[in-house]
Amino acid sequence: MDRNMKENHAACPGRAAKVDRVFHTLMFLFLSNFFCCILGLDAWEFAIKVLLAQNPEAESTSKQKTEETKKKSEETKKRQWSLDDFEIGRPLGKGKFGNVYLAREKQSKFILALKVLFKTQLEEAGVEHQLRREVEIQSHLRHPNILRLYGYFHDVTRVYLILEHAPRGEVYRELQRLSKFDEQRTATYITELADALSYCHSKRVIHRDIKPENLLLGSNGELKIADFGWSVHAPSSRRTTLCGTLDYLPPEMIEGRTHDEKVDIWSLGVLCFEFLVGKPPFETETYQETYRAISRVEFKFPPFVTEGARDLISRLLKHNPFHRLPLKDVLLHPWITANSTKIPTSRKSDAAAPSKT
């Protein structure tokens, strides 16, 4: 090393150290390739083995990370649910493919509903895909007026859905008990339902089976949409399947035409009528008569239904889906704002947002 280089090294020890490291690295890689050619080893494998031999801490760190990963994997497996994790209580309801029970998670003491479905019955009816879709959709929805699906598990014979418990039961039973609802209660339910459906549609989810039996009541009397068995994700926004209960189906579905999320707006109109009157607007003695009444949009209001309610229902029950009142306008309808006791979550978030100055 000449005098100038010595002076540079003395003046810049950091730079010298960096140059030395680069030099040693290059030499190491060259020698690795040389020995690998002779021994027939993979160059990178050889280099890693040498480095680990020089740095035993790196090897122990690597082992530690592997052990941590295995431990996390084991913990995840442990967190998978089984029937042993729950205390099963009284039955809450009975469905076509199984039953729903009140249950409590043993560790947290959390109260929930456990829906038990029999695999043989699901297979015989050919609805396994429908159940998968229900779980996929409902488990990702988060809204105060949509029943939560916390998780699921299965054994040899049954599938179990872990659901939010709605203590006040079905809206259907409440309607049977009271025969009909007053304007305030109806407007409040329609507000909650329209708000929840608006959220679903923003996630490109169509429910397609809105009826009193599929609506539950929470601990504070709030409405919750349940049973997403007929719901679909709508990437194309159109489905032609005939599904759901005839009384609540719109003309485009019973006529076998393509349909989109506006089918839920029709169902909202049917429900509003039923809440106020005590029966659906197109209910008749025969299937054929109901079909004809829906197709022609033929129904009559009893004299006690007020003008504001008539206006809203008539705007929702339109044969042409594009003529139906959009959900955002349902929430702003004068009859709704005058009677509803609830503020939609969308308006709450707008009110909470800081105003621009």
Q: What is the mean pLDDT of residues 130-136?
A: 86
Give the right CATH number for 170-340 from 1.10.540.10, 3.40.50.920, 3.30.465.10, 1.10.510.10: 1.10.510.10
> Taking 60 as the threshold, does the pLDDT of residue 350 lie above it?
no
Of 9-13, 33-37, 235-239, the one with minimum mean pLDDT is 235-239
Q: What residues contact residue 133 under an 8 Å CB cut-off, 6+ apart?
A: 228, 231, 232, 233
Name the most confidently modeled range: 45-49, 109-113, 117-121: 109-113
- The answer on whether 164 is annotated among ligand-binding residues is yes
Give the right CATH number for 83-164 from 3.40.50.150, 3.30.200.20, 2.40.50.140, 3.50.50.60: 3.30.200.20
210-248 residue pLDDT tens: 899 989 999 999 999 988 766 665 643 444 445 557 898
Q: What is the mean pLDDT of residues 27-44?
A: 50
Cα(344)–Cα(194) distance, integer angstroms? 9
Q: Judge whether 182 counts as a catalytic residue.
A: no
Please tell me which residue in 84, 85, 209, 247 is annotated as part of the active site.
209
> Taking 70 as the threshold, does the pLDDT of residue 11 lie above it?
no
Return the higher-pLDDT residue of 209 and 319: 319
| pLDDT value, residue 227 | 81
Annotated domain spans of the chain: 83-164, 170-340
Continuous H helices in 100-204: 119-125, 128-138, 171-178, 183-202
Cα(332)–Cα(315) distance, integer angstroms? 13
Residue holding tokens 């839920």?
A: 264
| DSSP one-letter string for 37-84 | HHHT--HHHHHHHHHHHH-HHHHHHHHHHHHHHHHHHHHHHHHS--GG
> Taking 50 as the threshold, does the pLDDT of residue 164 lie above it?
yes
Beta bridge partners of 113: 102, 163
- Token readout for 125 is 């009816």
- The answer on whether 213 is annotated among ligand-binding residues is yes
- The answer on whether 227 is annotated among ligand-binding residues is yes
275-303 residue pLDDT tens: 999 999 999 999 999 999 999 999 999 99
- The answer on whether 214 is annotated among ligand-binding residues is yes
Instruction: Give the model's confidence band at 78: pLDDT under 50 very low, under 70 low, under 90 confident, else very high.
Output: very low
> Are the C-beta atoms of 272 and 190 separated by less than 8 Å?
yes
- The answer on whether 203 is annotated among ligand-binding residues is no
